[in-house]
Structure 1
Amino acid sequence: MRISCDAALCAGGSHKKVRGRGAASAGKPGEYLNDLLGFATVHLGWQPESFWRSTPSEFWAAFLVFQKKVQAINASS
């Protein structure tokens, strides 16, 4: 069974790709944060309050752990 996550989020493991995606696809700066909030709540299981209280370093650390988990699952299938 393959697990997938948003290609822009998981490709290359770089938040710069996400940042570029958000800036390019969103006409409004808040849409980028909404994308990250959605990722945190759906894929990381965070409550919205946890997302808003986290630092960028905490978010990206959790993101990298999630990405490694998805890669490990996909490698074993």
Structure 2
Amino acid sequence: MEKIYKPKARKLWDTGKSFIAVSHKFSPHSVFAFTIDPTLAGVPFDEWYNAFCYYNCNMYETGYYPAFYIPA
């Protein structure tokens, strides 16, 4: 797995390519990692990002921001 940052994730979103999103304290290999397919989401990146942070990155145990990964 290669870690990427938010601008690269936004670019992948805009081009319709998949990536993995997870709260930053979790491993991308854990059951809590989500493979994101932007073509199925149907919303802009910022709207999805805000919802992901609200529901998944909201406590000390999980972390307060997401991490993004792509297969190497």
Quickly name the TM-score band, shorter chain normalised: 0.3 to 0.5
- As a proportion of its length, which structure holds more strand? 2
Normalising by structure 1, what TM-score? 0.32
Normalising by structure 2, what TM-score? 0.33
The structure that has the greater radius of gyration is 1
